[in-house]
Structures are given as structure tokens and as C-alpha cells.
């Protein structure tokens, strides 16, 4: 009888110990949260990637808040507020000196977009220059053109400036126009284009394919923005996508990045409008 009681006592302790182990393991899994932020175009790409990753990793929580933009996300990363920043800009030397590490991934076409009611299919570089400079103020249907601008140092603005010297001058002139629509982030720009009658703006192709706003994509000099035209060089406007982290990565963060750079992750990104050109091994 004494032997039976002792055996039951040992068995009870065993089950308690197992329960504690399971509880600790579950708590550890629940604590594995990955916080991500950055450029709106890049974050659009992350939605299907993180959805696919969570299916096989249910213990991981991935938090993606309203986009802070490339610069804001890197500041948040260095402050320890997020684990991964996505940027469309090169890494500033001072951020690298403070511990930020950049890893190239790919690029998405920067598309010219309009809201509803504009049936135009194509714009030439000259026509685009004339619109931004104010020489052309009406669409062919008579609707007033409302250009949705981004800040002058925003990467979208810099990409459009690089299209031609005339476009650079037109953007400078447009920034001085009173009453122009200014959108700070990618989602704000897409929302404004979709909402404002007669509007014209620019959006990463990821935002067009995965965003919630109905946008009409316009060809540039007869070439539509796509993975194919970006890859063969016929479409000139593109936003780069980089992942930025700091120090030695926690295993759960490193595992997510490995998935993103894997064959499956790259295939998901491709469907999301991203031309992945980084090495699957080094990300360079």
C-alpha cells in the first residue's frame, strides 16, 4: 500500500512537471512576436508572406502597424521598437554606424495611377512633364487634373525626378503650387488618388495588386509596369525593397527572414508584384 501511494505520488509529480514544461513552452511561443514596419509598398508585399508563414508557425505573432516610411522605420528599429524595417532607400552611413544592417531583396515597378472616371491608357514622358509643370491641366475628357504629390525627398519623388531633366524641373514647380495634394505615405497617396476626382499619382505595383483602393494603371511611353517589363529593362521606374535588422537576430526573426528568401517566399513575393533579384543564400 505504501509502495502504491509512493508510485502515485511520483506519477502525480511527473504530470505536474510536464504541465509546467508545456506551460513554459506555450508562454515562450506566445512571447515570440515579430514587429515589422517600413515603406508602404514593401509592407503590402509582407501581407501574403506573413499569412503563409503563420500557417506553419501558429505560435508566432507578427505585428505590422500603419507604415512609418523607410526613414521612420529605421529609427524605430534602432530604438528597439521593431524587429525588422523594410526600406526603399539606401541605408544612411550614420544608421549603419549605429548598428543597422541592410539586406537587398528586390524591386517593384512604380506605376502611374489614376482614380475612377479617367479612361486614359498611356502617357509619354513629355505629357507627364506637362501635367506636373501645370502646362496641361485637363484630361482628354475635360476633367481637371489633380496631381497627388509626395514630399520632395520621398523616394517616389526621387524616382520620378530621375525619369528626365524635364520631369525633375516639373516636380520642383509642382511642389510650389498652392492647393496641391500632398500625401506622406504610400497608403495615403493611394487613398487620395482613389478618392479625388481627376487625380494622378504614383504607386508601387504591390499597392495596386494588394491594396484596398481601386486604381487605374497607366502605361508610360507605351509600356505597362509589370515584373516582365521591369526585368527586361523596358519599364524605367522601380522601387527597391531592402530588409534592415540590427545585431544578432533572435531565432524566430531569423527563421521568418529565411522563409522570405526561400523559393516559396520568393514565389509569393513575385505574385505580389516584386521582382526578386537577391541571392537566396546571401540576400546580396
Do 146 and 214 lie in one domain? The reply is yes
pLDDT at residue 279 in the model: 67
Tell me the sheet residues that pair with 204.
110
| Shared domain check, 225 and 113 | yes
221, part of any domain: yes
Q: What percent of the chain has pLDDT over 70?
A: 86
Q: Does pLDDT of 29 surpass 70? A: no
- Domain shared by 155 and 206, yes or no: yes
Three cell numbers at 104? 537587398
Q: Can you count the helices (H) and strands (E) in the chain?
A: 12, 11
User: Is the pLDDT at 280 greater than 70, yes or no?
Assistant: no
Residues 243, 198 share a domain: no
Same domain for 95 and 153, yes or no, is no
Write the CATH number for 165. 3.40.190.10
Report if residue 17 sits inside a domain: no
Among 216, 231, 246, the domain boundary falls at 231
pLDDT tens column, 183-213 = 999 999 999 999 999 999 999 999 999 988 8
Q: Let me know if residue 13 belongs to a domain.
A: no
Which residues, other chains included, contact 60 with Cβ-Cβ below 8 Å and sequence gap of 6+? 29, 32, 33, 34, 53, 54, 252, 256
Same domain for 113 and 103: no
The residue-averaged pLDDT of 235-246 equals 97
Instruction: Express each pLDDT in 123-160 by its tens digit.
Output: 999 999 999 999 999 999 899 999 999 999 999 999 99
Range of the domain at 98: 35-107+238-276
The mean of the pLDDT values for the chain is 87
Question: Of residues 175 and 114, which shows the higher confidence score?
Answer: 114
Please give the grid coordinates belonging to residue 98: 549605429
Q: Are 77 and 85 in contact (CB under 8 A)?
A: yes
Q: 29 or 238: whose pLDDT is higher?
A: 238
On whether residue 16 sits in a domain, the answer given is no
Residue 6 — pLDDT band, cuts 50, 70, 90? very low
Average pLDDT over residues 70-79: 95
Do 227 and 133 reside in the same domain of the chain?
Answer: yes
47 plus 116 within the same structural domain: no
- Say what the pLDDT of residue 31 is: 54
Q: Does residue 170 lie in a domain region?
A: yes
Total of domains in the chain: 2
Amino acid at each position: 500500500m505504501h509502495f502504491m501511494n509512493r508510485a502515485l505520488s511520483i506519477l502525480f509529480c511527473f504530470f505536474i512537471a510536464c504541465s509546467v514544461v508545456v506551460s513554459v513552452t506555450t508562454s515562450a511561443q506566445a512571447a515570440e512576436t515579430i514587429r515589422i514596419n517600413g515603406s508602404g509598398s514593401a509592407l503590402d508585399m509582407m501581407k501574403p508572406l506573413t499569412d503563409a508563414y503563420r500557417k506553419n508557425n501558429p505560435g508566432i505573432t507578427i505585428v505590422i502597424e500603419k507604415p512609418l516610411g523607410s526613414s521612420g522605420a529605421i529609427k524605430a528599429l534602432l530604438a528597439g521598437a521593431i524587429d525588422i524595417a523594410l526600406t526603399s532607400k539606401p541605408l544612411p552611413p550614420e544608421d549603419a554606424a549605429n548598428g543597422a544592417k541592410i539586406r537587398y531583396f528586390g524591386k517593384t515597378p512604380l506605376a502611374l495611377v489614376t482614380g475612377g472616371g479617367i479612361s486614359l491608357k498611356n502617357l509619354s514622358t513629355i505629357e507627364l512633364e506637362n501635367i506636373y509643370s501645370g502646362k496641361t491641366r485637363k484630361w482628354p475628357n475635360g476633367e481637371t487634373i489633380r496631381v497627388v504629390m509626395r514630399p520632395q525627398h520621398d523616394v517616389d519623388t526621387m524616382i520620378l525626378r530621375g525619369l528626365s531633366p524635364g520631369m525633375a524641373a516639373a516636380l520642383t514647380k509642382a511642389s510650389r503650387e498652392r492647393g496641391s495634394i500632398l500625401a506622406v505615405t504610400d497608403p495615403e497617396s493611394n487613398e487620395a488618388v482613389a478618392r479625388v476626382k481627376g487625380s494622378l499619382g504614383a504607386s508601387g505595383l504591390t499597392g495596386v495588386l494588394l491594396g484596398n483602393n481601386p486604381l487605374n494603371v497607366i502605361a508610360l511611353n507605351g509600356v505597362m509596369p509589370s515584373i516582365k517589363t521591369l526585368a527586361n529593362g523596358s519599364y524605367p521606374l522601380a522601387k527597391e525593397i531592402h530588409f534592415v535588422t540590427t545585431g544578432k537576430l533572435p531565432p524566430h526573426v531569423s527563421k521568418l527572414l529565411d522563409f522570405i528568401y526561400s523559393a516559396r517566399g520568393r514565389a509569393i513575393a513575385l505574385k505580389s508584384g516584386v521582382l526578386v533579384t537577391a541571392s537566396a543564400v546571401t540576400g546580396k
